Structure 1
Amino acid sequence: MSYAVDFTTVSTTGLESSPVADALAGLRANEARYFKNKYDHVFTVEPASDAAATVGWVSRILEEERGIVISAPALEATEFEVEGIRMAYVFYESGLSINVMYALDEAGKRAVGFKLSDGMDVPEELGAFKFARQKSKLAGTIRGSYFVIKNEY
C-alpha cells in the first residue's frame, strides 16, 4: 500500500522497525517537503517489497558503479519523474536514504546521493565517502554525500 508522506505531521509509518525511526521519518518528510515546494510533487512511498524494480535499479547502479552492496534491508521506496529527471529513493532500516537522480537527456546530471539519519553510524560499505552536514527542522542533522553516475542505466 502506498503512502503519501506528510511533512507537516511527521509519521514513522512504514519505518517502525528502524532503530532511528523518528529521525528517518524526519528525513523522509524533509524530502517530501522539498519535492512539494520545488516541483509541486506529492512524495509517495510504498513498501520495498512492492517496489522491487526500484530497489533493484538503485542496487544495480550502486554495485556496477562503485561495488557497493547495502547490507541493511530496504523498508520503503519510490520512483517518479519531475522535469525530465527520473528520481528514485530507497529508505533502509539502518536509517540510510539513497536517492538516484537520473536525467533522461544525455547531457543532464546523473548522481547517487546518500543521506544518513540523525543518530546512525556511517555504514561500513560507505566508509570511503566524506559526509557533509546540514540542519533540518524535520530531520535534525542530516549527513550527506554523493557520486556522479558514469554509465547508462
Structure 2
Amino acid sequence: MSYVVDFTTVSTAGLESSPVADALAGLRANEARYFKNKYDHVFTVVPAAEAKATVDWIHGILKEERDIVIASPPLEATEFEVAGIRMAYVFYESGLSVNVMYTLDDAGKRAVGFKLSDGMDVPEELASKFKFARQKSKLAGTIRGSYFTIKNEH
C-alpha cells in the first residue's frame, strides 16, 4: 500500500521498527519537501517488499560499483521520473536513506547518495569508504550525507 509523505505533519508511518523512527521520518519528509518545491512531485513510498525491483536495482548498483551490501533491512522504497531523471530511494531500518539519481540522457549526471538520520551511527559497510558532510534540516535535524558518481550503465 502506498503512502504519500506529508512534510507538514511528519509521521513515522511505515518506519516504526526503526530505532531512529522519528529522525528517519524527518529525513523522508525532507526529501518529500524538496521534490514538491523543486519539481511539484508528490513523494510517495511503498513497503520495500512491494518495491522489489527498485530495491534490487539500487542494491545492484551498490554491489557492482563499490562492492557495498547494506546490512540493515529495507523498510520503504520509491521510484519516479522527474525532469528526465530516474530517481529511486530506499529507506532502511537503521535510519539510512540511499538514493540513486540516474539521468536518462547518456551525457547526464548519475550518482548514489547516502543520508544518515540524526542520531544514527555511520553503518560499518560505509564507514571506511565515505566521509559524511553535515547539513541542517528543520524537518530532520542534522542530516549527514555522502555520495559517489555512477560509472557504468544500469
TM-score (norm 2): 0.99
Structure 2 residue 154 is matched with structure 1 residue 148? no
The CA deviation string for residues 36-78 of structure 1, in whole angstroms up to 9 with x for no partner, is: 0000000000000000000000000000000000000000000
Q: How does 1:1-153 map to 2 (within 5 A)?
A: 1-127=1-127, 128-153=129-154
Matched AA of 2:100 = V
SS in structure 2 opposite 1:49? helix
Deviations 1:79-126 (A, max 9, x none): 000000000000000000000000001000000000000001000000
Identity across matched positions, percent: 85
- In 2, distance between residues paired with 1:90 and 1:2? 14
Equivalent-residue separation in structure 2 for 1:106 and 1:55 (angstroms):
23
The answer for unaligned runs of 5 or more in structure 1 is none
In the TM superposition, what is the alpha-carbon distance from 1:31 to its structure 2 partner?
Answer: 0.1
Q: Distance in 1 between matches of 2:18 and 2:45?
A: 16
Residue type at the aligned position of 2:14: G
Question: Aligned residues, how many?
Answer: 153
TM-score for both structures, normalised by structure 1: 1.00
Partner deviation per Cα, 1:7-60 (whole Å, 9 max, x = no partner): 000000000000000000000000000000000000000000000000000000
TM-superposed CA distance for 1:129, in Å, is 0.3
Q: Unpaired runs of 5+ in structure 2?
A: none
